[in-house]
Chains A and B, each alone.
Chain A
Amino acid sequence: MNSNNQKIIINIEDSKYINWEIDLKNKLKMLKSKNLEIDSKNIDFSCTDISKIIAIAYQYNCKIIGFRSTSPKTIISSQSLGYKSEFIIESSSNNTSEINKKNLTFSKTQFHQGTVRSGEYLESLGDLLILGDVNPGAKVSAVGNIIIWGRLLGIAHAGCKGDFKATISALQLRPVQLRIAKKVARGPKEKPQLGIAELARIDSDEIIISPLETT
């Protein structure tokens, strides 16, 4: 591939929070590379801000391929706009790291808002929460559990590192294929009853689907 495909990481500095637009423009002026990854440190960006960044990059002929940030808000915003996003847990020397350790299981949950469409692939190092449908042809996988607030019509793989206790739950479970840990199962042939959320888990070496019960 040619040099255009090189990835450059741009930092948006906290100290210039108010002037981040100018800061970004200045940095883009210096660059010739067209594919960028934006590191926004701990700035909270809303969806509007992210759209603004994309528009600015577009002016300078650059294309943004992803975001990384220590701010959950930025990550949720960029992810909901369909960008690859990496959540970085701050490892600074002050006591914030202590809090982060406690919330580690929480912060590892990846959150995606919007439909996951055919050909798209979503993965998470922890649990995966999707607010939207997973369409046929799409694939989602997580080291932990998968929870879909919507319809699952594609392929889901929970416990992809081998966790047999992982579960997959959705408002409508109609997948092409279900995988939990190393088990693979084809989706049920008949349509499920409407209005009942279901949960798939491993029980005595088989993947079984049962109505989701809140405990």
Chain B
Amino acid sequence: METDKRVILICSGKGGVGKTTLTANLGISLARQGLTTAVLDADFGLRNLDLLLGLENRIVYTAQEVLEEECRLDQALVKHKQESNLSLLPAGNPRMLDWLKPDDMKRIVEMLKEQFNYVLIDCPAGVEDGFKNAMAASQEAIVVTNPEVSAVRDADRVIGLLNTNAIKPVQLVLNRVRPKMMANQEMLSIDDVTDILALPLLGLVLEDEQVIVSTNRGEPLTLNSVNSPAAKCYLNIAKRLQGEDIPLIDPIKESSGFGAKFRRLMQTKIF
């Protein structure tokens, strides 16, 4: 049974590429498929996983109290309101960074592993202590990047560090893909990115304005709007993570396909 427990680190190096959004949506998607999932916010300095999940007002205890043994783990865990399979372990206050050690992180993850099938760790940006703590506790990793030079460069650095710490497998998610720009070669192509990073591609996520709306509302996209292109991508990633064979979408087809043309027509002609 121990073998199907998975601890996955979600990291990127550069900030703002969509780690937290991916963590939240992946958590919801996995929980929907009946897997007990814990999301752990390891970004102690700038926590916002609770915001994305809309659970900010339910937090009583945090990882800090669990470590200091002021409360039990299940007291600190916040269950999602709609998806009971998903729980959040909130990050403590930013001062935790001063004393938190990789071993503390391992202890928390060990506790979570006893109760959950999946533990997703939302890693802070950068490659300093916060990242190293999070990395120490994980077995495998998903690297998130955008199709732009700086994000790819940072992801490359992170992959190097993951490799030296024997974290396997490391998979890639390419976020905020704009099919039209990719088709016009104004953006790095999928091949450009995978050529440099040399990692198996777990999935693409299309650029979607709905993501911003859902972030502000505190309802991850995968929860309600199944028709949003990004939500579909997140669901596919969750399925592939469990070994299902789902073909990747082709962004170039996506931009010239009938559906997209129809949507563009609607947008231009009616308004």
The main secondary structure of chain A at its interface with chain B is: loop
Evaluate contact between B164 and A118: CB separation under 8 angstroms: no
Evaluate contact between B196 and A135: CB separation under 8 angstroms: yes
Evaluate contact between A137 and B153: CB separation under 8 angstroms: yes
**B132-161 near A? 1/0 per residue, CB < 8 Å:** 000000000000000000000110110110
Evaluate contact between B156 and A118: CB separation under 8 angstroms: yes
Contacts of B103 in A (CB 8 A): 61
Contacts of A54 in B (CB 8 A): 166
Evaluate contact between A117 and B159: CB separation under 8 angstroms: yes
Evaluate contact between B166 and A51: CB separation under 8 angstroms: yes
CA distance A114 to B157 in the complex (A): 14
> Interface size class for chain A?
10 to 19
> Interface size class for chain B?
10 to 19
Evaluate contact between B166 and A118: CB separation under 8 angstroms: no
Q: Whole-angstrom distance from the CB of A192 to the nearest CB of chain B?
A: 15
CA distance A46 to B154 in the complex (A): 31
Evaluate contact between A118 and B160: CB separation under 8 angstroms: yes
Contacts of A137 in B (CB 8 A): 153, 156-157
Tell me, yes or no, whether B163 is within 8 Å of chain A by CB: yes
- Given the known interface contacts A133-B198, A136-B196, the answer about A119 and B157 at a Cβ–Cβ threshold of 8 Å is yes
Residues on A lying within 8 angstroms of B by beta carbon are 51, 54, 61, 81-83, 114-115, 117-120, 133, 135-137, 153
Q: What are some 28 contacts across the A-B interface (CB < 8 A)?
A: A51-B166, A54-B166, A61-B103, A81-B164, A81-B166, A82-B163, A82-B164, A83-B164, A115-B198, A117-B156, A117-B157, A117-B159, A117-B163, A118-B153, A118-B154, A118-B156, A118-B157, A119-B156, A119-B157, A119-B160, A120-B160, A133-B196, A133-B198, A136-B153, A136-B196, A137-B153, A137-B156, A153-B196
